[in-house]
């Protein structure tokens, strides 16, 4: 692949996928960004139409998969269900043993298309509702919201969901992408590599932070309580979820876009409550940790995305799975890059001291 999959400047707060700035990318459909990550270039209209039609046509899951989802205990974390089912569905993929670039692309399309369906079907079953078939006419974001809710989302909600998937799609060698790449480096199949990514994303220091943010906002309950809550956490040396980053030592550009989107949703719904709690948390953290203590602890991608889910009635149990729906395109882009290298990743133990 000629272009870098991802570029991050953690000091200036710049993020690019394949040399295109994240602020431009969020104006595109998720399908176009997925194509860009996996195939290396933005699609022209005809290419995008064909890619979207293939993706939308692969959303269905078969009866056996539905039966296995039904057998999952219905109070487990949706990430546990997702990693189990993604592993299970590999046996139905006719290309499972075809490791050619074409075979891998067909698998990639099936994975990207079916993961939202699995998440939505499990969610509806876990809530005692009949699962819904996917709607091919809808975008990735609108279809997912439709499948969990049973009604079509507003245009703004559908756009926000698309942007959420785009902002979550790729972030260089984060922990889950590294896991996927290590698995791909052994020339294991794409399903195995994606399951590795899912297992790693699940942890609260990575993708799991989003649901913790939602729980924190819920617990704080009103903007007036935020300052005291955060001061207590800081006094106890506890980490505040949705803040801090290994790479960004300034505002995370994704966090800033999520902040604008959450404000837009709050205004459209005529309800600033969750947004004001979040802003009160942010102001306290910035004042106490950045300004007073000089620590670069800014809101990360998980903070205002948690606020968005509050406005879209998405429960915390789905937050990490939604991250996975977006991130799978990034994992696959890295796996393809790794397959081309045909070289195993095998760090030495002493390197762990630097992590
Ligand atoms: N709240 C309060 N203090 C913090 C936070 C936070 N969220 N994050 C870092 N610090 C402090 C930490 O206590 C330490 O202070 P000291 O030097 O006095 O001991 C210092 O900053 C360095 O912390 P660290 O844990 O060594 O930093 P790191 O670069 O290893 O960790 C991080 C990065 C994201 C794991 C961490 O900031 C964190 O745990 N944040 C909360 C969880 C979170 O929001 N995770 C999502 C990360 S972004 C999305 C993703 O990658 O999936």
ipTM greater than 0.95, yes or no? yes
Name the catalytic one among 93, 245, 252, 334: 245
Which has the closest alpha carbon to 122: 67, 176, 191, 165? 67
pLDDT at 354: 72
Ligand 1, atom 19, residue with closest C-alpha: 237
What is the sign of the dihedral through the CA atoms of 221, 227, 228 and 234? positive
> 169 CA distance to ligand 1 centroid (A)?
21
What stretches in the chain show pLDDT beneath 70?
1-3
Q: Is the separation of the CB atoms in 305 and 164 below 8 Å? A: yes
- Could you give the CA distance from residue 86 to residue 121 in angstroms, rounded to a whole number? 13
Which domains, from first to last, does the chain contain? 6-202+318-341 (1.10.580.10), 209-311 (1.10.230.10)
Ligand 1, atom 17, residue with closest C-alpha: 295
- SS3 at position 6: strand
Residue-wise pLDDT for 11-62, tens only, equals 999 999 999 999 999 999 999 999 999 999 999 999 999 999 999 999 999 9
Ligand 1, atom 52, residue with closest C-alpha: 206
pLDDT at 74: 77
pLDDT at 351: 82
Reported in sequence order, the residue ranges of the chain that DSSP labels E, i.e. its strands, are 6-9, 14-17, 20-21
Q: Is the separation of the CB atoms in 265 and 218 below 8 Å? A: no
What atom of ligand 1 comes closest to residue 295's alpha carbon?
21
Which one of 233, 244, 246, 290 would you pick to mutate in the ligand 1 pocket, going by the greatest count of ligand atoms within 8 A of its CB? 244
Name the catalytic one among 302, 313, 334, 337: 302
Strand order in the sheet with 14-17: 6-9, 14-17, 20-21
> 245 CA distance to ligand 1 centroid (A)?
6
Residue 302 annotated to the active site: yes
Ligand 1, atom 28, residue with closest C-alpha: 246
What atom of ligand 1 comes closest to residue 293's alpha carbon?
18
pLDDT at 142: 98
Q: How many residues does the chain have?
A: 355
In sequence order, what DSSP letters do the residues of 154-207 get, joined into one string? PHHHHHHHHHHHHHHS--TT-HHHHHHHHHHHTT--HHHHHHHHHHHHTSTTTT
For residue 15, list its beta bridge partners.
8
CA dihedral 45, 46, 48, 54 (to 10 degrees): 160
Spacing of C-alpha 346 from chain mean position: 27
What lines the ligand 1 site, CB under 6 Å? 174, 205-207, 209, 239-246, 295, 297, 300-302
What atom of ligand 1 comes closest to residue 252's alpha carbon?
48
> 294 CA distance to ligand 1 centroid (A)?
14
pLDDT at 352: 81
Which has the closest alpha carbon to 139: 30, 299, 16? 30
pLDDT at 3: 64
Residue 56 annotated to the active site: no
Ligand 1, atom 24, residue with closest C-alpha: 246
Beta carbons within 8 Å of 104's beta carbon, 6+ residues apart: 95, 98, 190, 335, 336, 339
- SS3 at position 13: coil
Beta carbons within 8 Å of 102's beta carbon, 6+ residues apart: none
């Amino acid at each position: 692949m000629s272009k870098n999959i991802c570029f991050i400047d953690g000091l200036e707060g710049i993020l690019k996928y394949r040399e295109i700035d994240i602020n431009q990318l969020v104006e595109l459909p998720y399908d176009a960004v997925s194509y860009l990550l996996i195939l290396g270039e933005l699609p022209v209209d005809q290419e995008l139409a064909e890619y979207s039609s293939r993706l939308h046509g692969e959303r269905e899951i078969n009866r056996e998969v539905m039966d296995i989802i039904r057998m999952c205990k219905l109070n487990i974390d949706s990430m546990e269900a997702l990693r189990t089912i993604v592993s299970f569905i590999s046996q139905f993929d006719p290309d499972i043993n075809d490791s050619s670039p074409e075979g891998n692309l067909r698998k990639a399309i099936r994975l990207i298309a079916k993961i939202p369906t699995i998440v939505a079907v499990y969610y509806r079953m876990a809530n005692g509702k009949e699962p819904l078939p996917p709607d091919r006419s809808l975008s990735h974001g609108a279809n997912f919201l439709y499948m969990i809710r049973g009604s079509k989302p507003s245009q703004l909600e559908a756009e926000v969901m698309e942007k959420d998937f785009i902002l979550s799609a790729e972030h260089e060698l984060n922990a889950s992408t590294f896991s996927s790449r290590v698995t791909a480096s052994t020339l294991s199949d794409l399903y195995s590599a994606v399951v590795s990514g899912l297992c790693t994303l699940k942890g609260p220091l990575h993708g799991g932070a989003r649901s913790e943010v939602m729980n924190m906002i819920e617990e704080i309950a009103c903007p007036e309580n935020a300052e005291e809550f955060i001061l207590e956490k800081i006094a106890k040396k506890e980490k505040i979820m949705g803040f801090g980053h290994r790479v960004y030592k300034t505002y995370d550009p994704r966090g800033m876009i999520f902040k604008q989107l959450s404000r837009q949703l709050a205004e459209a719904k005529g309800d600033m409550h969750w947004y004001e709690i979040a802003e009160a948390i942010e102001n306290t953290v910035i004042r106490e940790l950045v300004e007073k203590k000089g620590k670069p602890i800014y809101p990360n991608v998980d903070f205002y995305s948690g606020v968005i889910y509050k406005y879209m009635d998405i429960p915390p149990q789905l937050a990490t799975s939604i991250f996975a729906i977006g991130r799978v395109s990034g994992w696959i882009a890295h796996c393809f890059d790794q397959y081309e290298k045909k070289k195993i990743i095998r760090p030495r133990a002493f390197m762990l001291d630097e992590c």
